[in-house]
């Protein structure tokens, strides 16, 4: 009986993951590989990770090339000994590695397209003569289509039967829908009516798409240093942050907390912890503790405004799942500390450091970045004072932390050197008003200025 090569599978990185992207292979066909060795970088939404080899051997074949986007469970490549048989079936429904590779190549050739298709555009859609004909045998429920592609088509009003799938077994992918949208947008532009008596194009009506068009014209007349496709983590951040600003009533208020006593306590505790080899206690740990204690007092800030049902609702949570924003080279991630309200200061400190290290090493799972009820974003290391952090939907609040500044402050008739910390609280005005938000921020300030309360 012939030995079968080990399959390198696209893993499911989170409960909501539908598909993943092969960023770059670190090995070439024929290279020796050790079990557990990193062989390919992959991503899904805001997660990027290094996939480890499931077995020892050599890389026999690559089924999905760099840039390929495939459903989770798809075979990406094969590892084994020279001459071993390759199983020609992936876990995602592809019948052969050739089909998977063809899907990856098609994905690489199809550039993402941004096409504005709205109900206000009265130009008729392409007729069946202009649309790509559907292959025979793909009617109705027999269509093979990825969940992401199906959702995109439904939102754009596209007929899936008019789209030719380039995925395994004719599966319609996200790139196929984007290509169809581009064709439709091009057709609308070509068939748009021109005003009579002039060869010049009519002035376009003012719309939300006009600035993007003008920006494109301006950029084309200048020397472009670099063009970068908006994909992966950057695309997710761009989408979610824009949605956050468009779909919530955000307001930011600021305050300054006197950290002079807290810094003295932090130095004392840090020294003691180092002696006991229990880690390092940072100012961020103490700020996180102050936020958790304040959220327990002001429950409404530990809420979310949800619109996923017919009637919008506000949900207030009994436990604090604290998000800590971590800046990476390619973007921002927010790992979540579950049940932070049940942790001691030392336990909270260890959790913050552990998740931060996982984030910097691309070891976070999708589930470790979901479900937060409040977020902290610290830009103090960059010298920033006050700023306006954007809400992490559907949370009702996010606290921005700035750089500690040394200032001269009168205390009675005595001029003292004090350390002040700028705080910026952004909250959703749909959930709570200015007064309760100010009370929460005041509570955080009080905890920081009375640091012994953080130890209780």
Q: Give the 3-state secondary structure of residue 312.
A: coil
DSSP for residue 2? P
Q: Which pLDDT value is given to residue 59? A: 93
Q: Which of 27-31, 129-133, 271-275, 412-416 has the lowest mean pLDDT?
A: 129-133
The chain-wide mean pLDDT, for the chain, equals 81
CA distance 320 to 357: 21
Residue indicated by tokens 């004072």: 385
Q: Which pLDDT value is given to residue 402? A: 98
Q: Which of 43-57, 137-151, 331-345 has the lowest mean pLDDT?
A: 137-151
Identify the H or E element spanning 287.
helix 283-297
Q: Which pLDDT value is given to residue 4? A: 75
Phi and psi at residue 317, to the nearest 5°: -105, 145
Mean pLDDT of 109-120: 36
Domain 6-109 shares a fold with domain 249-455: no
Mean pLDDT of 216-244: 80
Number of other residues whose CB lies within 10 A of the CB of residue 264: 12
* Bridge partners, 77 (sequence order): 8, 62
**Beta strand pairing call for 397-401 and 374-378:** parallel
Q: Which pLDDT value is given to residue 169? A: 62
Q: Which pLDDT value is given to residue 235? A: 84
Phi and psi at residue 132, to the nearest 5°: -70, 125
Q: Which pLDDT value is given to residue 166? A: 81
CA distance 418 to 257: 10
- Full-model pTM: 0.63
Selecting from 3.40.50.620, 2.40.10.120, 4.10.320.10, 2.60.120.10, what CATH number does the domain 112-191 have?
A: 4.10.320.10
CA distances from 376 to 179, 238, 335, 337, 369 (A): 39, 19, 11, 11, 13
List 88, 258, 429, 446, catalytic entry: 429
Spans of all domains in the chain = 6-109, 112-191, 249-455
**CA dihedral of 402, 405, 408, 409, whole degrees rounded to 10:** 30
**CATH architecture of the domain formed by 6-109:** Beta Barrel (2.40)
Per-residue pLDDT at 221 exceeds 70 = no
Q: Which two tokens stand for residue 170?
A: 């004719």
CATH 3.30.559.10 fits 249-455, yes or no: yes
Q: Which pLDDT value is given to residue 129? A: 38
Q: Which of 8-12, 147-151, 329-333 has the lowest mean pLDDT?
A: 147-151
Q: Which pLDDT value is given to residue 219? A: 55
Mean pLDDT of 364-388: 94
Active site residue 433: yes
CA distance 294 to 297: 5
CA distance 145 to 170: 8
Query: 235-257: buried (b, 16+ CB within 10 Å) or exposed (e) per residue?
Result: ebbeeeeeebeeebebebeebbb
CA distance 414 to 427: 37
Per-residue pLDDT at 60 exceeds 80 = yes
Per-residue pLDDT at 309 exceeds 80 = no
Q: Within a 13 Å sphere around the CA of 154, how many CA atoms are in the beta-carbon half? A: 7
Active site residue 298: no
Mean pLDDT of 374-384: 97
Mean pLDDT of 168-194: 72
């Amino acid at each position: 009986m012939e030995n079968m090569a080990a399959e390198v599978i696209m893993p499911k990185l989170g409960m909501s993951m539908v598909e993943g992207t092969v960023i770059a292979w670190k090995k070439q066909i024929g290279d020796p590989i050790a079990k557990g060795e990193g062989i390919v970088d992959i991503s899904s939404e805001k997660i990027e990770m290094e996939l480890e080899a499931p077995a020892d051997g050599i890389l026999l074949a690559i089924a999905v090339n760099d840039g390929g986007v495939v459903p989770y469970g798809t075979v990406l490549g094969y590892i084994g000994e020279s001459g071993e048989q390759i199983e020609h079936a992936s876990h995602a429904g592809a019948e052969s590695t050739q089909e998977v590779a063809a899907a990856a190549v098609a994905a690489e050739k199809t550039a993402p397209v941004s096409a504005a298709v709205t109900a206000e555009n009265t130009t008729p859609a392409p007729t069946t003569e202009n649309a790509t004909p559907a292959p025979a045998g793909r009617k109705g429920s027999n269509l093979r289509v990825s969940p992401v592609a199906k959702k995109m088509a439904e939102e754009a009003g596209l007929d899936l039967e008019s789209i030719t799938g380039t995925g395994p077994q004719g599966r319609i992918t996200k790139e196929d829908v984007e290509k169809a949208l581009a064709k439709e947008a091009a057709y609308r532009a070509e068939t748009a009516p021109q005003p009579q008596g002039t060869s010049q194009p009519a002035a376009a009506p003012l719309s939300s798409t006009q600035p993007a068009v003008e920006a494109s014209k301006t950029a084309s007349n200048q020397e472009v240093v670099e063009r970068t496709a908006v994909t992966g983590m950057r695309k997710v951040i761009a989408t979610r942050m824009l949605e956050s600003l468009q779909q919530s009533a955000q307001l930011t208020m600021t305050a300054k907390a006197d950290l002079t006593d807290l810094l003295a306590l932090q130095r004392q505790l840090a020294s003691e912890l180092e002696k006991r080899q229990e880690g390092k206690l940072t100012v961020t740990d103490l700020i996180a503790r102050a936020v958790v204690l304040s959220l327990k007092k002001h429950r409404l800030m530990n809420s979310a405004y949800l619109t996923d049902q017919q009637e919008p609702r506000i949900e207030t949570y009994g436990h604090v799942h604290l998000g800590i924003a971590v800046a990476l080279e390619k973007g921002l991630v927010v790992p979540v500390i579950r049940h932070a309200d049940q942790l001691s200061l030392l336990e909270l400190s260890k959790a913050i450091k552990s998740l931060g290290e996982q984030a910097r090493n691309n070891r976070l799972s999708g589930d470790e970045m979901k479900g937060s009820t409040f977020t902290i974003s610290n830009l103090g290391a960059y010298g920033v004072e006050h700023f306006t952090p954007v809400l992490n939907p559907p949370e009702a609040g996010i606290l921005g932390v700035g750089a500690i500044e040394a200032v001269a402050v009168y205390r009675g008739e005595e001029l003292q050197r004090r350390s002040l910390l700028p705080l910026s609280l952004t909250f959703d005005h749909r959930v709570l008003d200015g007064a309760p938000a100010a009370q929460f921020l005041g509570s955080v300030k009080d905890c920081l200025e009375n640091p012994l309360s953080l130890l209780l």
